[in-house]
Amino acid sequence: MNKKFIIFIIGLMSMALLALVFIQGYWINNAMIVRQANFVRSVNEAVDGVVFRLEKSDLAGRLQSTINYLSDSPQYMAHDDSIYDALNHEFRDIDNSGELEAFYNKYILSLEVKDRQRIHEGFQLIEKRLTYNLIDSLLRTELHKKSISAKFQFGVFSTERGKMVLRTEGSDLSVLLEGAYAFTLFPGDLLEEPDYLMLYFPNERGFLIGQMAGLLVISISLILIIIFSFTYTVLTIYRQKRLSEMKNDFINNMTHEFKTPISTISLACQALKDKDVIKTENVYDAYIGVIGEENLRLGAMAEKILQSAVLEKRQLELNKEWFDIHEVIADVVSKIGIQVQIKDGNICTDLNAEPSKIHADKVHFTNLINNLLDNANKYTPQKPKIGVSTENVKTGIMISIEDNGIGISKKNQKKIFDKLFRVPMGDLHDFKGFGLGLSYVKVIVEYHKGSIWLESELKKGTKFDVFLPYES
């Protein structure tokens, strides 16, 4: 897949995702605004109910006080009794503030001027007309009817005296004055300077968010799912692209690796068929030897590929036995040493581990050391200086293999143990291999409950440290 097209698709998906997140945020914000408006309306309705009940309770007290006062008056007559009985009956049927206001006007008109003045003077102070507990109880009841369970603070402010005459204990006076909802108390009094009920919700925003918890959880979950899906898709695209490149690289390397022995065998066969070539016993032996060696080389490469498939399926069976790792290392060093000497290099050993026996699969351990030494030689183009050392640690043996080769960049060090991965070299095939060696080494180490890590710097060399327990 074209790289520019992939970048275009990712960019397009990113823009769509950002637009979706923006739209979701916009709708959540709108929902919060609507919820806020509904909250304010519910609070207004609840407090209107509180004010109505306070005013009705106050008016009931006035009416009863008036009846008690006038019944003791020498001017009180029988027909007055019937008037107040009618007022009492009408008062009990009042259901809203409009009816209460109309009743209040009738009540005032039924009084003599001096009685109106007396009643007015007797109820001037707001704290004499209501109590803290009464307001608190009514507020809780009315707010509960509106499904408002948020904590609240309230106060009663006297405009005429310019102070808060009642308020919730521990409440902030400045907050009540500046940030609270304000409602007129006893609106039917028609006073020039009315008193106010101040209501404040300290955690109003938290309450509103709590009311929207379901919507928020669903919205955030959907956004996270979309982001996760988008990220996973992008990573999958890049992973598939990388696997495709690794596959192509593997095929190119395999073709290159198989081509040489096949060509050699083909040339040897042609030479044996050529009638112009003198066929002596030595010639036959030489050509047959070449064919045999190249055939073994092809078989070894095919075996390595099949072995990789077995490792990938985790179907490997280990034949563990006790053996001396120093003997195995010495044997591998003697074989690889010939190739190193051809390049005017050498292998130095410093085998200090004692005891040096482990319980492991000897064949796979041999392959492990062979792969690491072969890589050390392969990736050191000139005069390899390879060091092999062992030492005992708490529960096993540490094996170190160090070279002075081309090194591995920090970026590629993270991928070096991946199957089929080879350090990118363009179209060059200076270093033979399929990218299977180090992935095989890592799997074998893990099968033996060990660990492997590396230290490397470009143009200075690489060091592999392998830890294997005495008994896995």
Q: Do 251 and 132 reside in the same domain of the chain?
A: no
The total of structural domains in the chain comes to 3
Distance CA 183, CA 157 (A): 10
- pLDDT for 447 equals 87
Domain that holds residue 332: 320-469
Please calculate the CA angle 5-7-12 and round it to the nearest 5 degrees. Answer: 95
Dihedral sign for Cα atoms in the order 275, 279, 283, 284? positive
Q: Do 423 and 367 reside in the same domain of the chain?
A: yes
Tell me if the pTM is above 0.85: no
Q: DSSP of 197-243, one letter per residue?
A: EEEE-TTHHHHHHHHTHHHHHHHHHHHHHHHHHHHHHHHHHHHHHHH
Residue 232 CA, distance from chain mean position: 13
Distance CA 420, CA 409 (A): 17
Q: Do 20 and 96 reside in the same domain of the chain?
A: yes
- pLDDT for 250 equals 63
Select from 158, 181, 211 the last residue of a domain.
211
In DSSP terms, 329 is beta-bridged to: none
Q: Are 166 and 132 contacting, i.e. CB atoms less than 8 angstroms apart?
A: yes
Q: Do 170 and 263 reside in the same domain of the chain?
A: no
Q: Do 195 and 220 reside in the same domain of the chain?
A: no
- pLDDT for 396 equals 94
Asked if the peptide bond before residue 74 counts as cis, ω within 30 degrees of 0, the response is: no
Q: Are 277 and 271 contacting, i.e. CB atoms less than 8 angstroms apart?
A: yes
Q: Do 201 and 220 reside in the same domain of the chain?
A: no
> Given the structure tokens 């907050």, which residue do they identify?
175
| Cβ count within 10 A of residue 46 | 21
Distance CA 372, CA 438 (A): 8
Q: DSSP of 39-103, one letter per residue?
A: HHHHHHHHHHHHHHHHHHHHHHHHHHHHHHHHHTSTT--HHHHHHHHHHHHHHHT--SHHHHHHH
Q: Do 82 and 198 reside in the same domain of the chain?
A: yes
Strands 181-185 and 461-469: unpaired
pLDDT tens string for the chain (472 positions)?
567 777 787 788 888 888 888 888 888 888 889 989 999 999 999 998 898 888 877 777 666 666 565 555 554 444 455 555 555 555 555 666 555 555 555 555 555 544 544 455 445 577 778 888 999 999 999 999 998 989 999 999 988 888 888 889 888 888 888 888 999 888 777 666 788 999 999 988 888 888 888 888 888 888 888 888 888 888 887 777 777 766 766 666 666 667 767 877 888 888 878 777 677 788 778 888 888 877 877 776 676 666 666 666 566 778 899 999 999 999 889 888 888 888 899 999 999 999 999 999 898 898 889 889 988 888 888 899 999 999 999 899 999 999 999 888 888 887 787 766 666 555 444 555 555 678 888 888 988 999 999 999 888 899 999 999 998 7
Distance CA 297, CA 182 (A): 94
Q: Does residue 452 sit in helix, strand or coil? A: strand
Q: Do 67 and 137 reside in the same domain of the chain?
A: yes
Q: Does residue 468 sit in helix, strand or coil? A: strand
CATH number, position 252: 1.10.287
Select from 156, 189, 211 the last residue of a domain.
211
Select from 294, 312, 330 the last residue of a domain.
312
